[in-house]
A and B are shown apart, each in its own frame.
Chain A
Amino acid sequence: MKKVGILSLLLLLAVLTACNRTDYKGISKDEPFIASVNIGEPSIDFIRPNGEKIETWDLKEAYTGATLVGEHAILLYGNQLEQADLVNLDTGEIQKKIDVSKGATNAYYDGANKTFYIANSGLNEVTAYNQKGEQLQTMRTGNYPMAMLAEDGHLYVVNFKDTFISVFNTTTKKLEKKIPIPKSSHGLDFVDGELWIGGHGAGEKPNTHVLKINPKTSKVVGKMDLPIMPIAFAKLDEREFVLSHGESMLYELNDRQQISWEQEIGSNPFAVEAFQNQIVVAGYDDQTLYWVKDHHIVKKTKVGQAPFQLLVRENVK
């Protein structure tokens, strides 16, 4: 009986010290993965190209999103949290806790400038940080900044509850212009020099279009009917994939920007990414990743509750 007691005490100590040493389990340095950020009971599933799970991180705080910062760090943030954590992927240790205000909606890593941005809907601003997590600059945006994309020395910030995109210079961090868009816009991509923007649609009527905007003139140059609620984009082999969550549809567009293939996929999916020559879609309601190759769903992977984002690390250089 005594032995059992001592043994359990030792075991408990071992567990405690283990917890102390690392925050999460590290992911091997050179392994490519696609990570599903699940916001139901916050967790991240790291998955190999063959669909095997590398690791699942049960997140310790009420994180609502994550983004990869380079190839060896991941930034975790939460809408109601006052700290964002920069975690070393290789070791799983939190390398920096960044003080933020409540209201973080999204974070975006601009690889070209080695800078990441955190959008804040409470303050209506975007703050830039270097790779170490040191704050660089804060930029005023419109109401409820959320989706972000950096292209060609510009940071495009979609103001979800406003009617324009704020365009900043990534070097000077100055606001350069505002591009008019409808409210509740979300998801953006650059296709053939055009800025494509999707959205949920404001009010009762759901949006069914992707708007094509000339970023230079800020003019709408066309729109494509991709029902319902196209909000996510992915590129694979020069082909553009658009995900509409309202009808759970994945569209493939050809180089003439016409629908060349479409597939009902997942249940209420919010995220699509290209990974290792496959298209991966995360079904929010059915907690499943769908792997599409050559117009076929080739596998499905169960993930945690409510997968909302997909993060991709391709082959590590």
Chain B
Amino acid sequence: MKKISTKIWVFVLATVAVTVLFMYGLTNFLYERLYVKDAENSMIEIGEKLSKMYTGGKVTDELIDHVDRYNTYANVNVFAVRNPRELSACVPFDIDYDTLIGPDERHELLKGNIITKQGYEKRFDRQVISVVIPLVDEKRLEGILYLYFPLEKITELASKEVAFLIGSAIVFLILISFIIFKGIRVIMKPLQSLQYAAKEMAQGHYQTRVMSTSKDEIGQLAQTFNEMAQAIEEEDQRQRQFLENVSHELRTPISYIKGYGETLLTSNISEQERNDQLALIVREAGRMEKLTNELLQLSRTIEQKEILQLYPLPLSETIREVVHMLEGRAKQADITIHTNLDDHVIVNADELRMKQILINLLENAIRYSNEGTSIYVRSYEVENQACIEVEDHGIGIPEQDLPHIMERFYRVNKARSRADGGSGLGLSIVQQLVTAHGGRVQIESVLNEGTTICIFLPLMEEMEE
């Protein structure tokens, strides 16, 4: 019984079988209570009416004849008895005779009470319901009216047609079991599809979906399964894309290094050219190092392996340091960095990571700003949050790319020109780190005008509190 459908089938079938048995018992019970009681009552009624013919004295032949005549036409059996032997009149004596009524019954009858009995009667060799009406005169039990009705138990009735009954019960059970079996299969079908789909998923076929039209729990389960499959498929897609990107990003510097390296080995080149090419190799190696560092950083942040060293950090101080660090590079690109910082803003943050966030943001801003423009860095408090705002004036980001800008290796420039010098991981890292600090990133951009990125971080709670 490995299948749940088999279990349900067996359970339902057992329930049906128990029900059949219960109904049988109930019918028997009702038969006893209603049929038997009814027969008893009607016999008492008949007996009492017949006993009115007795007016006292000895039980006459005429009375016996009357009762016999009634017996011929009635559907109950009735006879009058006056033989004292049958009435247990000789009780104190040890009589070898099976009397119709016993000593205790005689005692009751003498009091004028009617006796009802139910059970096997040797005299009639069958189960009967019997009613005994006393014919009493001056405390003498002159005779009785004995009425009886064969008590055909349902079992007895059934025994006549026992083969038919058992046969029909079996046919009924087979039919019911078949219907239940079919019904369960219909109900369980989506579960089977689910099981099949899960197997397919396990084998890597992430495009598998379950077809289910039902709205019940199984239908909902199928729906949830499909959503899960969708998520897994997308994640898988992202992983592939990521790997593709990583290998692409690594391949470029490697091919540079390989090309220049080969030239150095095989060609007769001047010292100047040799130095230039070595410088190129070093630059590409640096680029590779940066890329791998960033990948490592990203992976750590994602897996939350890196434990942040949080402590109160005056934000403006950190920003100034980073701005100072990058001012040289900005100058080279003819870009001015302006700051407008609120010195009171203190956040609970890891200084190193905070700097990395700011460096990434400013590097991006410098990289995508037009020459001769300015970058504005602001920090302030808004709605109990600290906000760091970096505004540049450059190429901007097309609206359709905005939702994807944080994804790894996502580039607005699909041609992957290396002129901009980015790895495509900067903003991803920023987002990961900000999230790790409990903050969020907001980007607003207008194409060919510029981009403003806001980092919201939770404020350091007041010491007093």
Contacts and interface: CB of A to CB of B under 8 A. Distances in A.
Q: Do A and B come from one complex?
A: yes
B146 to A, nearest CB: 15
A245 B83 CA distance: 12
B92 A246 contact: no
A229 B92 contact: no
B271 to A, nearest CB: 141
Interface stretch (B7-15, B93-101, B162-170, B287-295): B93-101
Contacts of B62: none
For the complex, would chain A's binding face be called helix, strand, loop or mixed by DSSP majority?
loop
A6 B246 CA distance: 116
B110 to A, nearest CB: 5
B58 A247 contact: yes
Given A39-B92, A144-B94, A200-B90, A285 B84 contact: no
B90 A229 contact: yes
B84 A246 contact: yes
B141 interface: yes
Interface stretch (A14-22, A88-96, A201-209, A218-226): A201-209
A160 B94 contact: yes
A204 B58 CA distance: 19
B124 to A, nearest CB: 15
Contact of A267 (B90, B93, B110): B110
Given A245-B84, A247-B84, A268-B84, A200 B139 contact: no
Contact of B92 (A267, A283, A284): A284
A67 interface: no
A228 interface: yes
A205 B83 CA distance: 8
A302 to B, nearest CB: 12
Contact of A268 (B96, B97, B141): B141
Interface string B154-191: 00000000000000000000000000000000000000
B140 A160 contact: no
A312 B58 CA distance: 32
B94 A267 contact: no
A267 B95 contact: no
B138 interface: yes
B140 A248 contact: yes
A186 interface: yes
Interface in B262-290: none
Given A201-B85, A206-B85, A286 B140 contact: yes
A211 to B, nearest CB: 18
Nearest to B110: A285
Interface string B125-146: 0000000000000111100000
Interface in B47-98: 58, 83-86, 89-90, 92-97
A310 B186 CA distance: 90
B93 A200 contact: yes
Given A206-B84, A268-B84, A285 B93 contact: no
A131 B83 CA distance: 42
Given A267-B110, A267-B141, A229 B97 contact: no
Contacts of B110: 267, 285
A156 interface: no
Contacts of A270: 92
A161 interface: yes
A229 B86 CA distance: 13
Interface in A265-317: 266-268, 270, 283-286, 306, 308
B109 to A, nearest CB: 10
Chain A interface: which size bin?
A: 20 to 34
Given A144-B94, A161-B96, A200-B90, A267 B139 contact: yes
Contacts of B83: 204, 206
A200 B86 CA distance: 12
A170 interface: no
A159 interface: no
A92 to B, nearest CB: 26
B118 to A, nearest CB: 25
A184 interface: yes
Contacts of B97: 203-204
Contacts of B86: 204
B94 A229 contact: no
Contacts of A64: 92
Nearest to A183: B96
A186 B97 CA distance: 16
A121 B94 CA distance: 10
A186 B96 CA distance: 14
Contact of A245 (B89, B94, B96): B89
B138 A267 contact: yes
A270 B138 CA distance: 17
Nearest to A146: B93
Contact of B140 (A121, A186, A268, A306): A268
Nearest to A309: B92
B56 to A, nearest CB: 11
B92 A306 contact: yes
Contacts of A246: 84-85, 89
A161 B93 CA distance: 11
A248 B138 CA distance: 11
Contacts of B138: 267, 286
B61 to A, nearest CB: 14
A270 B91 CA distance: 11
B95 A200 contact: yes
Contacts of B141: 267-268, 285
Q: Which of A64, A144, A247 has the most CB of B within 10 A?
A: A247
B84 A228 contact: yes
Nearest to A206: B85
Contacts of A184: 93, 95-96
Contacts of A186: 93
Contacts of A228: 84
Interface of B: 58, 83-86, 89-90, 92-97, 106, 110, 138-141
6 contacts: A160-B93, A161-B94, A200-B90, A201-B85, A245-B89, A285-B106
Given A200-B85, A264-B140, 6 more contacts: A201-B85, A202-B96, A204-B83, A246-B89, A267-B140, A284-B92
